[in-house]
Amino acid sequence: MSARTISYAAGVAFVAAGAACWSLGGALVRLTDGIDVWQIIFYRSVTVLICMGLWLGFRFRGSLLRRMAEAGVNAVIAGVAIGTAGLTFVASLFFTTVAEAIFMVGVAPFLSALIGFWILRERIPPITWVAMTVALFGMAIIFYGNRGGGAVTGTLLAIYSAFCFSCYAVLLRWGQKTEMSVALIWNAIYLILVSALVLMLPTGLRGDPGLPAFAIGWWNAAAVFLMGAVQLTLGLMLFTIGSRAVPAAQLSLIALVEPVLSPLWAWFVSRELPPIWTFIGGAVIVGAIAIQALFSASRENRHERRNARLERGGKPAFDRP
């Protein structure tokens, strides 16, 4: 799909579908056997690089390098930002509980709103602030049902992960007139380099470094391929396409579909039944996202009808500020 304009409703659908793909990560990890997070990151990123290289190469033929140049340093920073978001979130799990780390993801819409207003001058409607607050309350409910002891270091890492994701969302909006899908190539290259160094060198982040660390077996290779092809490549592509029509704050808000669906997929694959608070909090978050989407779609429809009336009356139709 080119960088042409899409409707707000379509943008919301793409972003939600992308977040739904991301939510498969936990369930797919449960399908692996005997490999660690760095091996998963390495082969998942290799899969993303191959899939994105083939897809973008097929789309643009000989103009891929030109498209990457047009996206420029913005795409590079966006790729590093989303890669760092994933790395710091994984790192936070070594210092705090999963529930607390996921709860900190709830601050991402607020960070996106502030960064988006500062850089993009995107005005945040009151309904979006209300929806973000309600969604954060839903995350708090999930945290309450899964609470446990967590260190400050883990909390700070999780917040930094949310900050990096917010930067990614804003950068996608900043570069929406270019082919920002190329950011996924930079993301894959960045993570391949980082994970390869951890696997090869004695960094202290894992034991037994060296070439044997790259052996994961065929079953694990299949599971990691699904992570790279479906969870990441397809998910990030859909999210990137949707970002052309959805403001930065709403991107992070809709992305909360991921922590809502993740426990359900884990239960389906490994019968890990989450606490009832997870379902209650998830329902609150989905309600907040639905209210935001419905109000914004209604406003978009009113705007389109007003423009149509102005055009039929012979008057120019102006875009909203």
The answer to whether residue 119 is domain-embedded is yes
Structure confidence by residue, pLDDT tens digits, 240-253: 888 888 887 788 88
The answer to whether residue 290 is domain-embedded is yes
For the chain, how big is the Rg over CA atoms in Å? 20
Please give the Cα distance from 109 to 164 (Å, whole number).
12
The answer to whether residue 316 is domain-embedded is no
Residue 171: domain span:
8-310
Please give the Cα distance from 293 to 276 (Å, whole number).
26
Q: How many domains does the chain have?
A: 1
Q: Do residues 241 and 6 touch, judged by C-beta distance below 8 A? A: yes
- Amino acid at position 90, single letter: V
Kindly indicate the confidence band of residue 290, based on its pLDDT and cuts at 50, 70 and 90.
confident
The answer to whether residue 315 is domain-embedded is no
The answer to whether residue 319 is domain-embedded is no
Q: Which of 83-97, 286-300, 303-317 has the lowest mean pLDDT?
A: 303-317
| Closest listed residue to residue 297, CA positions, set 20, 4, 15, 12 | 12
Kindly indicate the confidence band of residue 133, based on its pLDDT and cuts at 50, 70 and 90.
confident
Burial call 10-47: b when 16+ CB within 10 Å, e when fewer: ebbbbbbbbbbbbbbbbbbbbebeebebbbbbbbbbbb
Q: What is the pLDDT of residue 151?
A: 61
| Closest listed residue to residue 47, CA positions, set 187, 197, 210 | 187
The answer to whether residue 193 is domain-embedded is yes
The answer to whether residue 318 is domain-embedded is no
Structure confidence by residue, pLDDT tens digits, 85-108: 888 877 776 676 665 666 677 777
The answer to whether residue 3 is domain-embedded is no
Q: Do residues 18 and 220 touch, judged by C-beta distance below 8 A? A: no
What pTM did the predictor assign?
0.77
If you average pLDDT over each of 83-92, 120-129, 294-303, which comes out highest?
83-92
- Amino acid at position 111, single letter: L
pLDDT at 1 over 50: no
pLDDT at 175 over 80: yes
DSSP classification of residue 201: S
